Amino acid sequence: MWVTVAWAAMCLLLALVVVMFVCGFIYRLRVAVVPFEKNMKGKTVIITGASAGIGKEAARDMARRGARVILACRNLVKAGRVADEIQTSTGNCAVLVRQLDTSSLASVRSFAAKILAEETRLDVLVLNAGIAAFKERTVTSDGLELTMVTNHFGHFLLANLLLGLLKSSSPSRIVITASTSHRLARKIDPQVLNFENGNYLSIAAYCQSKACNILVTRHLADILSGTGVTVNSLCPGFVRTEIFEKSNNIAAQAQYYVAPILGKTVEQGAQTIVHLAVSEEGGTTTGQFFENCKVSNRLTSMVSDASLAKKVWETSESCVGLKPEEQHF
């Protein structure tokens, strides 16, 4: 009897694996690919979190198109190796590294100050760095919850600090990596974005940070109306990246091992970032959420709420201590 049960279980497991491989194969077949004929010569691009995953592949793609690419990364040694690799593989020597840790507001301000001192133009700002939430709530030296500041507040501050340069460089673009996991964030209270009320859950923190990415995209698009600067958010899809590997959350770690079977390659995951950075649509459409290189309608009513977007924006200004001289709108 036990032999029969074991055999049945083995057959069921094998069938499940086969189904997963087939689903993954079909998923990858449906990925949109950005045509290569669109070049970016003369353009300057900043990509946060560009030392691995989709950020690295987006940087490689844009370098191959002739852009001057600035890798904004926390680990300079790792980023330096990536820059060398991209230069070698693309033949483009204009791939630079600058230090940025989006979990530190001081690092964000230092990075922005360096960019404003060194750069005369900025054509594309890709806000891509992120982490998967940890099991326990962690607060940074700025008093901000780690997931929220890394994925949302740090990028919110950086976008504000560089808005003046983006506006003077128009037409220009802001591209924000969000996620369809925002759909799991059922409710956002703008007054407790850092989970001060004790209701912290790792999945809630991650999904809320991604929802805030989309809400800020929509509000910022309204603020920038008529300036020549577009801002759009996106979901890269299901991709195996370090964001899952580095988390101590069991669900995130499980995704890391399943993603190679069910998910996209990192090159495929980077395509929507590249689309928004180089396509005509990315330069004319603003305030939208994209999946697979096209506008998505898979948004919850919550992230489509203009009133909530404004409140999240205002709370974010307070949380990062945005100063009058840092406002460029």
- CA-to-CA separations, 157 to 127, 133, 233, 283, 294, in angstroms, rounded: 11, 20, 16, 23, 27
End-to-end CA distance of the chain: 73
Q: Which two tokens stand for residue 208?
A: 């809320």
Q: Is 181 exposed, middle or buried (0-12, 13-18, 19+ CB in 10 A)?
A: middle
Phi-psi label, residue 293: left if phi above 0, alpha if psi -120 to 50, beta otherwise: left
Structure tokens at 109: 């301000």
Choosing from 27, 200, 206, 256, the catalytic residue is 206
CA-based R_g, the chain, Å: 20
CA distances (Å), origin 113, targets 33, 106, 110, 126: 35, 11, 5, 17
Active site residue 206: yes
Cα–Cα distance, 96 to 82 (Å, whole number): 10
Catalytic residues: 206
